[in-house]
């Protein structure tokens, strides 16, 4: 719920500046390879990586094929720093995201 409004635009600018590289979002020094623009030319290599190599570590693929990191600032609300790419995997994560979302409302 915290994705930056300019996410795609900034990733696209970075991708155009480094043709062939994966443009990856990052925040607070941590990159998020699932929030990225991927060159279509990597499609077959990705398929091979996932199927033939049976590797599910997206970060390993990104590191192997080259990437450009696009840093996004942490959000600030109520004295808390909020990662714009906050990961919601559990009911507790969802409850925390809802609490943080309320702190961002005016």
d(CA 59, CA 57): 5
Instruction: Specify the pTM.
Output: 0.85
Domain definitions of the chain by residue range? 7-104
1-19: average pLDDT: 95
Tens digits of per-residue pLDDT, 67-106? 999 999 999 887 889 999 999 999 999 999 998 888 887 6
Sign of CA dihedral 59, 44, 7, 18: positive
- Please state which of the four CATH numbers 3.90.550.10, 3.40.190.10, 1.10.10.10, 3.40.50.2000 is assigned to the domain occupying 7-104: 3.90.550.10
């Amino acid at each position: 719920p915290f994705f930056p409004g300019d996410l795609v635009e900034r990733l696209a600018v970075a991708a155009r500046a480094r043709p062939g590289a994966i443009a990856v979002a990052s925040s607070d020094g941590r990159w998020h390879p699932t929030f990225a623009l991927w060159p279509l030319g990597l499609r077959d290599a990705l398929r091979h990586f996932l199927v033939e190599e049976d590797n599910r570590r997206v970060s390993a693929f990104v590191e192997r094929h080259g990437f450009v990191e696009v840093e996004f600032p942490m959000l600030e609300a109520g004295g808390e720093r909020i990662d714009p790419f906050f990961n919601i995997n559990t009911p507790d994560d969802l409850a925390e995201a809802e609490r943080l979302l309320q702190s961002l409302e005016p």
